[in-house]
Structure 1
Amino acid sequence: MSRTSNKEDITLIWFDSNVESNNHEIQTKKQLHQINDYVVFHGELKPCINFIQSIYNEKVFLVASTTDLSKILHRITSLSQIECIFIFNSEKIDHQHIVFEHPKLIGIYNKLDLLCLSIQEQVDSLEQHSKTFSFFDHDEYVTKNLSKQTADLLWFQFYRDVLFQLPYDEEAKREMIDACRFYYMDNAKELEMISKFENEYRSEEALRWYLKKSFLYRIISKALRIKDFDELYTFRYFMKDLSESLVREHQKLARSGKEILITYQGIKLTNDQIEKFKENEGKLVTVNGFLTTNILRSAAVNQAMKPSKQTNLTAVLLAIQCDLRQLNNCAIVADITQFNETSYEEQKEVLFDANITFRLDSVKKEEEIWLIEMSASNEGQLIKEKYIKDSHRQIQDLSIKILFGRLMCDMGQWNQSQHFFQHLLYDSNSNSEDLAKLERSLGEVLQWKGEWTRARKYYEWAYDRMTNSKPTRIKDSADILFNIGEITYLEGNYEEAQDYCERALAIHKEYYSSVNFDKSYSPNHQSSSL
């Protein structure tokens, strides 16, 4: 894991033009590290603004000094990356005259301890209210390409199945621990937790460790939110344990005799987010990550109604109905109350796995709170099954892992798709994957990226493997010849390109009743992102 990138959800930026003369910078940074791992100090305005604008996958907490307020104020009002603004009045200037109205302003603080306490409160609040929701129209599934219309939904349907099939051994555990130690090398608090995990962790305690909300919780939550399978692959040892724990708890709940379960979560949303829910009433909803809810409605309402210093947020109550008789082991919901060490009397928690889909039943205002009613559904599983059938009509007998890698490529996640296929090739001796299909898929990813020379090498290896196998796989080789023909054409070798395409055409005429090349995944025949 690279230390130059943020693996968590929050980037804390401290802007102070006098930062170099600040004798307390080291102590300040150390204190801030106890709250949030990723802390960046800036002393110049332009680099600071450029850095904020370069952030796509995190929320920014900005701390600015009172002396710098006039410099930065007009530059930050339109930056969507900023979640919270804190003013630090280190020089104890009388701030009664400061006029600064901004919906994301949290407060002005004279003491570092009070500032840190306020930042911690907002970190906790963001953790409660920061959810990414995606919406899907079920009626479009029958007629449109599933990989284009429902990429997010399919990614979450596949990821758990894939994790269960990845190598699970001490090497995978060591890889995860080493990566975490490298990433948190300057964070004594997390290094201590990593050592404790290394020495004390047992597989049956995966849920308890996840709910500690330490490095495991924060990195996995971020990886799920942004669909970063590179990161999840690094954490595959723990993720498999976590998934198995959730399945066990789901089965206990299913055997409990309870038929209908209603759970709640209190959150805060912007008006634009609420409008998005209203526009998609009746459609399917997914959440990018695990969703923790409460059986007690009153506790969820209290959470939603907590006062917020951010004036652009509105209280929302999610109410989710689960018919446990209809949900199977592919739609996981689990009672996690016993595993949460911070649990108190008003916490009777139920966790939904990231692969579950919900039907958005209604959105309505009730006095001071919005009520969003949803019901847990198996429809995501049905959509995945249809996608698998459609894919097998194009290329027969693709494994779940290869389908997932191709889906990531279809989404424009070319680097992640490439890394995943390379992992599968490296582990091919133990996972019995079809090497020719892996090499072909990796060739297609590289062709997408414009790395034509490397792509052609993988195509040629796949072609040789198919033609030298017993029996030979001549039918499967036609699409590879066509892809090589595309590359040679793009390189300007038109006669060679024609030869490859004619060879592909001859095979199709011999083995198929009609000529139908698999162009659904070819870089020159579909768009790169959804």
Structure 2
Amino acid sequence: MSQLNIIHEFEHNYRQENAILWYTRECFTYEILNRALRTLDANIIINMGFFIHDLHQQIHQLHQQQLPSYGDNPFKVYRGQGLLKTDFDKLKRTKGSLMSFNNFLSTSMERHVSLFFAESASGDPDKVGILFIITIDPRVSSIAFASIKEVSYYKTEEEILFSMHAVFRIGEIKEMGDNHRLYQVELQMTNDDDEQLQQLTEFISKEIAGATGWGRLGVLLTKTGHFDKAEELYKVLLEQPSTESDKALYYHCLGYVKHHQGNYEQAIEYYTKALGIREKTLSENHPHLAQSYNNIGETYREMGAYSKALIFHEKTLGMREKTLPTNHPHLALTYNNVGLVYNNMGEYLKSLSFYEKALGIREVALSKNHPELANIYRNIGTVYYDMKEYSKSLSFYEKALEIQEKTLSENHPDLATSYNNFGGLYYRMKEYSKALSYFERALDIWQSALPPNHPNLEGVKKWIEAVKKKL
């Protein structure tokens, strides 16, 4: 049957209850959806949103229906695929940490079927074949999965399908054979009590509070460092019919994206559009107004306009001290940001005073590995660096990095900022080999995550030149 005929059949016969049938059929639905999820194509993801929703709902419904039949006994499923050698090297380095699949994950109850796919993939000289062995514990409720044999297009396959964003802990990684081309990787399901998973989900859920629908995807893209894809998504969303509140959110998020791309003038432009809508539609002490003031202040600080930055941060602080309890995380964020401005202005004792207020709240209110704790440790480290108290600076930088390496993706720009800070510190301490190593790690991340004209790239390249002259 031609693709055109299949599309015609889809238009006339598709129903919510047969989403899995259409997903497992070898046709455009599977191919287009997985390519869009892999490449984060905003237009396609939005247009296929109904199908993603229906597919997740059907998996979830089947999961609830099938759960009693599993009992309490764990069982194994398998997935065979190829991984680029560079991606496999990253996987080996993250053994023991969490791994997330951003698509719908297809697995088999039959080991030999998955092994065939892994062996086939190992024939590609740029890849290694991977046999994932996933232990499913039916008592773990954090992941929706279902046997789809009865509803699949192919009724003979023993397939278990996981919904999107399934998270597993990476276990043993073993070579199969002796040609260095085929490996098995053990994955364990994580439960809701997993501390690292809780920290990640808590961080994400707070960051997307207030966002609706596709706005949540955009915030997740920015938080994982996919700024270009987030920008594309928000611009598409602005072209769709939406409320004034949603428009303000999308402009605000575009400002956030532009800020992190180093395009500060455009960031101010987008933030100001969001603020204009919010000032017309919200009450005078609404938290979204404080959010706008805060981010405009942050951008002015990055531009070196410290007096303007302080004006906006003081507006934010005034609103939040009126409306929030004294131990609220947003108040801690505001103290932190005022501290940043004072540090930039060379008023180090004032800066430390505000940082200590922020730290006092965060150490009580947040888990010990929360990303916001890392930020305040890093900022305090920077004040001590500027005060030339290098041993104190190193202590706080190390605390920050320990948290960030547990909670951020390995190519996240915030991680590069910490590596860059370590580079500068070791340079001042005359430990030039260590300095070079950290600067190069920062450069690797920023080159993949930031546009080529970003000021951070120019800065770290100058540092690398300076260090090499000392070696």
1:205 corresponding residue in structure 2: 18
Structure 1: unaligned runs, 5 residues or longer: 1-187
Task: Tell which structure's C-alpha radius of gyration is larger.
Answer: 1
Post-superposition shift, 1:232?
A: 0.9
Greater relative contact order structure (CA < 8 Å, 6+ sep): 1
C-alpha distance 474-500 of structure 1, shift in aligned 2 (>3 A): farther
* Cα contact 1:210–1:217 (8 A) shared by 2: yes
User: Per the alignment, do residues 437 and 325 of structure 1 end up closer, same or farther by CA in structure 2, a change over 3 Å counting?
Assistant: same
* Structure 1 pair 212–438 and aligned structure 2 pair: CA distance change class (3 A): same
Structure with more helix by fraction: 2
Q: 1:229 to 1:387 in 2, by over 3 A?
A: farther
8 Å contact kept, 2:100–2:167: yes
Residue aligning to 2:357: none
Mapping 1:294-443, distance limit 5 Å: 294-305=108-119, 310=124, 316-328=130-142, 331-342=143-154, 344=156, 347-365=157-175, 370-378=183-191, 379=194, 382-388=198-204, 391=207, 397=210, 402-422=215-235, 424=237, 426-429=240-243, 433=245, 436-443=248-255
Residue 321 and residue 438 in structure 1: after superposition, are their counterparts in 2 closer, same or farther (change >3 A)?
Answer: same
Kept in 2, the 8 Å contact 1:266–1:315? The answer is: yes
Shift, 1:314, TM fit: 5.7
Q: Quote the residue 2:392 is aligned against.
A: none
The Cα offsets for residues 364-414 of structure 1, whole Å up to 9 and x where unpaired, read as: 34557643222222458624432146548xxx7555754542332344434
**Are residues 1:230 and 2:50 paired?**
no
| Paired position in structure 1 for 2:9 | 196
Structure 2 unaligned regions, length at least 5: 327-333, 341-371, 376-412, 418-445, 451-471
Q: Secondary structure at the match of 2:26?
A: coil
Aligned residues: 329
Please give the per-residue CA displacement for 1:237-273, whole angstroms capped at 9, x wherever unaligned: 2221111122122222213244323112344557766
2:19–2:51: 8 Å Cα contact kept in structure 1? Answer: yes
8 Å Cα contact 1:359-1:376 kept in structure 2: yes
The question of whether the paired residues in 1 share the 8 Å contact of 2:40 and 2:229 is answered with no
Q: Is the 8 A contact 2:169 2:189 kept in 1?
A: yes
Q: Give yes or no for contact 1:481–1:503 (8 Å, CA) kept in 2.
A: yes
Amino acid across the alignment from 1:196? E
Following TM superposition, by how much is the alpha carbon of 1:517 offset from its aligned partner in structure 2, in angstroms? 3.4
| Deviation readout 1:36-55 (Å, 9 max, x if unpaired) | xxxxxxxxxxxxxxxxxxxx
For residue 317 of structure 2, what is the aligned residue in structure 1?
508
Paired amino acid for 1:472: E
**Structure 1 residue aligned with 2:257:** 445
- What amino acid is the match of 2:275? Y
| TM-score with structure 1 setting the length | 0.51
Deviations 1:45-96 (A, max 9, x none): xxxxxxxxxxxxxxxxxxxxxxxxxxxxxxxxxxxxxxxxxxxxxxxxxxxx
The residue that corresponds to 1:180 in the other structure is: none
Contact 1:293–1:350 (8 Å) recurs in 2: yes
Change (3 A) 1:242 1:456: same
1:218 maps to 2:31: yes
Query: What is the percent sequence identity of the aligned residues?
Result: 23
Specify whether residues 253 and 490 from structure 1 end up closer, same or farther in structure 2 by C-alpha distance, changes over 3 A only.
closer
| Kept in 1: contact 2:42–2:236 (CA 8 A) | no
TM-score by length of structure 2 reads 0.57
Q: 1:463 aligns with which of 256, 263, 275?
A: 275
Residue 75 of structure 2 is matched in structure 1 by 261
Rounded to whole Å, the distance in 1 between the matches of 2:171 and 2:277 is 52
